[in-house]
Amino acid sequence: MSSDSGLLLEVKDLKKSFPGVLALKGVSLTLGKGEVISLIGENGAGKSTLMKILAGVQPADSGDYYIDGQKVDFKNVREAMDLGIALIHQELNLAANLDLASNIFLGREPGSKGFINEQKLHTEATRHLKRVGLNLPSETIAGSLPIGKQQLVEIAKALSCNARVLIMDEPTSSLSQKETETLFEVVKGLRDEGISVIYISHRLGEVKELSDRVTVFRDGENAGELAKDEINHDNMVRLMVGRELSEFYDREIHKPGDCVLKASNVVSPTYPEVPVSIEVRAGEIVGIAGLVGAGRTELLQTFFGVTPSLGGELEVQGVRFSPRSPADAVHAGLALAPEDRKHHGLVLPMTVRENASLPSLERDQNMGILDHSKEKEIANVAVEQMKIKTPSIEQAARFLSGGNQQKIVLGKWLAMNPKLLMLDEPTRGIDIGAKREIYKLMEKLAGKGIAILFVSSEMEEVLGMADRVYVMHEGGISGELQKNQMSEESIMQLATGGSLEA
């Protein structure tokens, strides 16, 4: 409710670095008893790193923690839990074929001498399930519950450890509208019980609804605080991006040219019963929005020949196209900067030069012999154009930051002069400076007449960058929005299966 009883948790000057990246440059955070604060910031701002440190998953390099005004120290998850801090993971960690009671008390089963006191196990479990509004028998098998309920079970599990601070990292990313509402009810109820919550989300609407206070991170530093009555969309975005929105997403609308990619009733193997039709024109930047698991990545992979289409027709510049492999797609002039940069986008142990030139080798070969000078040229052009920060083009890609890695991915495709550039979560895990450069580049490429199709879970990015957006829901296109129709509300409406008129 209020924090007049003093601070429950205080973090001061926390620093953390990873190889090549200074993730937290000395951040601070306060949390009162019974307070719900939201922690927001662009991807790569350091939110998740802080949360992992607080939950004992990773150690910080330096910094102090106070609980109830006492300086404390913890080294692992167990010790953090003993202090009452619990992290509800983005990915749920329930054992799918154990029942709820066993999941809640996993590793802490009541009983003695190795025998489990079944009765106590179930009565206790039922009590905690009730606290999160779940009136289910504690014998229910965890895996049989929908995702939203599993999330609540996770919370019940945290409560059973006497958690006083719940950290929720993007809890709604895969929840339906209804499930989200239920979750909010539970969170508000817990707040009234005096439990504090740190809520991390990209959905500013949710943040506004739920938070008593908002803390904003930018680029590993505190960017500002918003009290309850200051919380509004513009304030939050301004603090997150460090400038006015229009300045950050510097877009010009180009007159779209001919159709570059046309998909008619294409079927991806993940959603075999839902055909998808879209088109992207030259010079256009088209977004694909939707919840996690809506089939966006799978759609791009089908276009790129990673998973061949099960039906329908694809055309590239009016020519029938049925890719059996990425090699086919590349030959047709397509390029994909995949979501999983480390596993799909790059060959991490190889150098900047080797990564940047990989797709072009075949074109630049001379009877199979590598053209070293061309290769170097491609790498140097990429470093220059993309402003890749690397000691040399002979540096292994794995030692560069996420932003620079993504720039290599883009650089290697630009060397191929693609007709269509597909980007899957192009700025995930990237710092704000690199992000802006990637946006500028997208704009520049569109200006040159390249068609751009990007998938993003970041509302701001979709709203800021796309000329047009397709919203996906459970594998299908639930709606198409023109620039003037786009808003957070309209997109969420379509993404959760609603329709615009309703």
Segment contacting other proteins (CB under 8 A): 261-269, 330-338, 461-469, 476-484?
A: 330-338
Crossing angle between the packed helical segments 372-386 and 402-414, to the nearest 10 degrees: 130
Span 222-261, contacts to other proteins by CB under 8 A:
242
* Cβ 351 to other proteins shortest distance, Å: 10
* Cβ 175 to other proteins shortest distance, Å: 30
Q: Which is nearer to other proteins, 13 or 79 (CB)?
A: 13
CA distance 354 to 360: 10
Q: Reduced to 3 states, what is the DSSP secondary structure of residue 73?
A: coil
Structure tokens, 29 = 């955070």
Considering the rule CB under 8 A, would residue 417 count as an interface residue with other proteins? no
Question: Do β-strands 70-72 and 62-67 pair in parallel, antiparallel, or remain unpaired?
Answer: antiparallel
CA distance 1 to 32: 9
Give the sign of the dihedral formed by CA 237, CA 239, CA 244, CA 248. Answer: negative
* Cβ 270 to other proteins shortest distance, Å: 17
* Cβ 6 to other proteins shortest distance, Å: 35
Question: Residue 265 is inside which H or E element, if any?
Answer: strand 259-266
Q: How many CB atoms are closer than 10 A to CB 151?
A: 26
Considering the rule CB under 8 A, would residue 93 count as an interface residue with other proteins? no
Amino acid at 208: K
Q: Reduced to 3 states, what is the DSSP secondary structure of residue 28?
A: strand
Considering the rule CB under 8 A, would residue 169 count as an interface residue with other proteins? no
Structure tokens, 80 = 């953090």
User: Are the C-beta atoms of 432 and 44 separated by less than 8 Å?
Assistant: yes
Considering the rule CB under 8 A, would residue 318 count as an interface residue with other proteins? no
Q: How many CB atoms are closer than 10 A to CB 401?
A: 21
Amino acid at 277: S
Q: Which is nearer to other proteins, 170 or 219 (CB)?
A: 219
Segment contacting other proteins (CB under 8 A): 28-36, 109-117, 267-275, 395-403?
A: 395-403
* Cβ 481 to other proteins shortest distance, Å: 29
Considering the rule CB under 8 A, would residue 464 count as an interface residue with other proteins? no
Q: Which of 7, 22, 98, 136 is in the footprint of other proteins by CB under 8 A?
A: 22
* Cβ 360 to other proteins shortest distance, Å: 9
Considering the rule CB under 8 A, would residue 220 count as an interface residue with other proteins? yes
Give the gyration radius of the chain's Cα atoms.
24
Q: Report which DSSP code applies to 369.
A: B
Segment contacting other proteins (CB under 8 A): 15-23, 57-65, 96-104, 273-281?
A: 15-23
Question: Residue 315 is inside which H or E element, if any?
Answer: strand 313-316
| Closest of 415, 170, 433, 427 to residue 287, by C-alpha | 427
Q: Residue 133 region, left (φ>0) first, then alpha (ψ -120 to 50), else beta?
A: left
| Binding-site string for other proteins from residue 343 to residue 372, where x marks contact by CB under 8 A and - marks none | xxxxxxxx---x---xx-xx--x--xxx--
Considering the rule CB under 8 A, would residue 402 count as an interface residue with other proteins? yes
Segment contacting other proteins (CB under 8 A): 56-64, 314-322, 432-440, 446-454?
A: 432-440
Q: Which is nearer to other proteins, 288 or 336 (CB)?
A: 336
Q: Which is nearer to other proteins, 25 or 120 (CB)?
A: 25
**Residues contributing to the site for other proteins (CB under 8 A):** 17, 19-23, 44, 219-220, 242, 304, 306, 325-327, 329-331, 336, 338, 343-350, 354, 358-359, 361-362, 365, 368-370, 389-391, 395-396, 399-404, 412, 430-434, 436
